[in-house]
Structure formats: C-alpha cells, structure tokens
Amino acid sequence: VGGIEQIDAGEISIDGLNLSKSKDIITIYREKIGFLFQNFALVENKTVEENIHMIDKKYRNDVTVASVLDTVGLSGYEKRKVFTLSGGEQQRVAIARLFMKKCTIVLADEPTGSLDRNNADIVMGHIMELNKLGKTILMVTHDEKLKQQGGRVIEL
C-alpha cells in the first residue's frame, strides 16, 4: 500500500486513482499519502523545524510550524535538535509533519510500538485528531487498547 514494494497482483486505488496503472505514481504518493513509523523516520542531527519543512512546499497545508507544534504540545521546540528529544516527543514531531502535509491517508506502522503507555495515549490522541480532519488512518498495531479506538478493525 505504501509503495515500498511494487504491486504484483490486484490493485490499489486512492481517491479514485489506480496506483497500479498510474504513470506518475510517485506524485500520487507524495500528494495523497503520509507515513508514521515506529522508529519516527526523522533526521536526528537536524532541528525539529528542519524535519517538518522536509515536506515539499506544494504538498503542505497553509499552517505554520509553530501552529502544528502547538497542536502536538511541543511549542517552542522549533530549534531543538531531534536527537535531544524523548521517543514520545520525536513521534509527536513526526505527527506534526502530518498536520502540515496535505495527505488524505496516513499509513501508520506500529506508531506507538516503542513508546510507554502515557506517550502511546498522547500519540493516539493526535492520530485521532488527524482522522477528525478527514485523513484516513490505516494503522498496523499489536496494541489491543489502540485497536479498540479504531472505527474499523481488520485482524490478520
């Protein structure tokens, strides 16, 4: 689904666009999909602001870094280096990036897997906020508590 592996059977459509038949699949992924990983996928030697600004300007919502950091409870963290942050703070920076991005779907791979219960609850609250903004959340998790918060749960 995330485009990491080539589609070899079936099809994946996002907003009516068939990814298996599209010639411009990279642009579709950049425009439509946001990612949230267990390991945060941040550049540790860069600042929080630099990490959030890694989203190409044409794929950003009209919001400021300060406002998305305020949304995730990290006001004033713009100039802090990512490596100085706790795991929960790093995941909230990754979520702030999703508030900044114009995507319609968020693929979340064990987004709370490396966090303690308190930080997992905070992160899940922000994921639910993204969903209320109209972003579809497709999340893989082993956490039974998080499964209970899903609108639709598919167990494999």
Residue ranges of domains in the chain, CATH in brackets = 13-149 (3.40.50.300)
Give percent above pLDDT 70 in the chain: 94
Whole-number pLDDT of residue 87: 94
- The beta-strand segments (E) located in the chain are 13-14, 17-18, 33-37, 105-109, 136-140
The more confident residue out of 20 and 96 is 96
Query: Comparing 16-20, 73-77, 123-127, 140-144, which segment has the lowest mean pLDDT?
Result: 16-20
- Nearest Cα residue to 151 out of 142, 89, 139, 143: 139
Task: List all residues 6 or more positions away from 45 whose beta carbon is below 8 Å from its beta carbon.
Answer: 81, 82, 83
Whole-number pLDDT of residue 3: 59
pLDDT, tens digit, for every residue of 1-56?
Answer: 565 667 777 777 777 777 777 666 777 778 889 999 999 999 999 999 999 999 88
What is the pLDDT confidence band of residue 130, given thresholds at 50, 70 and 90? Answer: very high
Whole-number pLDDT of residue 65: 95
The more confident residue out of 5 and 142 is 142
141 contacts 112 by C-beta, under 8 angstroms: yes
Distances (CA, A) of 113 to 35, 50, 53, 89: 15, 25, 25, 14
Whole-number pLDDT of residue 5: 67
**100 has pLDDT over 90:** yes
Task: List all residues 6 or more positions away from 96 whose beta carbon is below 8 Å from its beta carbon.
Answer: 48, 52, 65, 68, 69, 71, 72, 74
This prediction has a pTM of 0.86
Whole-number pLDDT of residue 4: 63
Query: Comparing 12-21, 46-55, 100-109, 110-119, which segment has the lowest mean pLDDT?
Result: 12-21
